[in-house]
Structure 1
Amino acid sequence: MSGLTWLYLAIAISSEVAATSALKLAEGFTRPVPSMVVIAGYALAFYFLSLTLRDMPVGVAYAVWSGAGIALVSLIAWIIYNQTLGAGELAGIGLIMLGVVVLNVFSKTAH
Structure 2
Amino acid sequence: MVSVNWLAWTILLLAVVFEVIGTSFLNASQGFTRPWFSVAVVVSYIASFVGLALALKTIDMSIAYAVWAGLGIVFITFVGSLVFNEAITVSRMFFIALILTGVVGLNLLRT
TM range (shorter): over 0.9
Matched, 1:76 2:72: no
**1:31-61, Cα deviation, whole Å (9 max, x unpaired):** 0111111100000000010000001111000
Q: Which amino acid aligns with 1:74?
A: T
Q: For residue 52 of structure 1, what is the aligned residue in structure 2?
A: 55
- 2: CA distance, partners of 1:37 / 1:91: 32
State the Cα distance separating 1:2 from its structure 2 match: 1.4
Q: For residue 35 of structure 1, what is the aligned residue in structure 2?
A: 38
Deviant stretches of 4+, over 4 Å: none
- 1: CA distance, partners of 2:110 / 2:86: 34
Q: For residue 27 of structure 2, what is the aligned residue in structure 1?
A: 24
Normalised to the residue count of structure 1, the TM-score between the two structures is 0.94
Structure 1 gaps of 5+ residues are: none
State the Cα distance separating 1:18 from its structure 2 match: 0.1
CA RMSD of aligned residues (A): 0.8
Normalised to the residue count of structure 2, the TM-score between the two structures is 0.94
Percent identity, please: 35
- 1: CA distance, partners of 2:77 / 2:25: 13
State the Cα distance separating 1:107 from its structure 2 match: 1.7
**1:44-98, Cα deviation, whole Å (9 max, x unpaired):** 0000100000011110000111111011000000000110011111111110001
Matched residues, number: 108
